[in-house]
Amino acid sequence: MNFANPNLLFLLFLFLHIGAAIVAFGPTFAFPIIGAMGGREPQFANFAMRVSDAIAGKLVAPLALLVGITGLGLIWTSGRDVLRDEWLLLAIILYVISLLIAVLVSGPASRRLIEATSAPPPAEPPTRPMGGGPPPHIAADVKRVRAGGMALMLLTLIILFLMVFKPQI
């Protein structure tokens, strides 16, 4: 390795950026599988949600922030004009939107589901039919987590497309 290489800092940022993106966002594509398995076996639903939440909190979130920081490093070391490269500006905007969805929608709904399913469910009231599905507040949070997850996966794929193909917009 030539440490006198003027592109060394750029290459370091690129290595960290791509590596962090793979490690951060790769596991998120398993979340729908984990969630579906937990949904089919309600006795394991809380565990499935806690596993996904632990992966999101200990792996995805910190590395997603590193992706942004190293992305700024790449812009700085390459001298790119973000306002001239529309594909890059769009990717940055979608990245920020992804962070907002994760922090404001998916994360809170996921944590509410974990809390709501941590204790055994209360006995069914006699007026409620058995097997009628989850209570409305749990169903609403499940819907938020699913919708947020689908949006985040789609945004991740769009950002990947923009980063690889760099289309002229």
pLDDT tens, N- to C-terminus, the chain (169 residues): 677 787 999 999 999 999 999 999 999 999 999 999 999 999 999 999 999 999 999 999 999 999 999 999 999 999 999 999 999 999 999 999 999 999 999 999 999 999 999 987 666 665 656 667 889 999 999 999 999 999 999 999 999 999 999 999 8
Domain-embedded: residue 125: no
- Rounded to the nearest 5 degrees, what angle is found at the Cα of 19, between the Cα atoms of 161 and 110? 75
The domain of 87 spans 8-118+135-165
Inside any domain, residue 126: no
pLDDT for 66? 99
Whether 142 is in a domain gets the answer yes
pLDDT digits (tens, 9 = 90+) for 108-142: 999 999 999 998 766 666 565 666 788 999 999 99
- In single-letter form, the type of residue at position 103 comes to V
Q: Name the CA dihedral angle for 88, 21, 107, 32, rounded to a multiple of 10 degrees.
A: 110
Q: What is the pLDDT of residue 122?
A: 65
The set of residues, in sequence order, having a beta carbon less than 8 Å from that of 3 and lying 6+ positions away, is none
The pLDDT score that the predictor gives to residue 111 is: 98
Prediction pTM value: 0.90
DSSP 21: H
Alpha helical stretches, state H, the chain? 8-25, 31-40, 45-55, 61-78, 86-101, 107-116, 136-165
Spatial neighbors of 65 by CB under 8 A, at least 6 apart, are none
Q: Residue type at 22?
A: I
Q: Is residue 107 part of a domain?
A: yes
> What is the structure's pLDDT at 134?
86
In a domain, 123, yes or no: no
* 25 contact partners, CB below 8 Å, separation of at least 6: 60, 64, 156
- What's the confidence (pLDDT) of residue 104? 98
What was the pLDDT predicted at 125?
A: 61
1 lies in some domain = no
Question: What Rg, from alpha-carbon coordinates, does the chain have?
Answer: 20
pLDDT of residue 129: 60
Task: Classify residue 127: in a domain, yes or no.
Answer: no
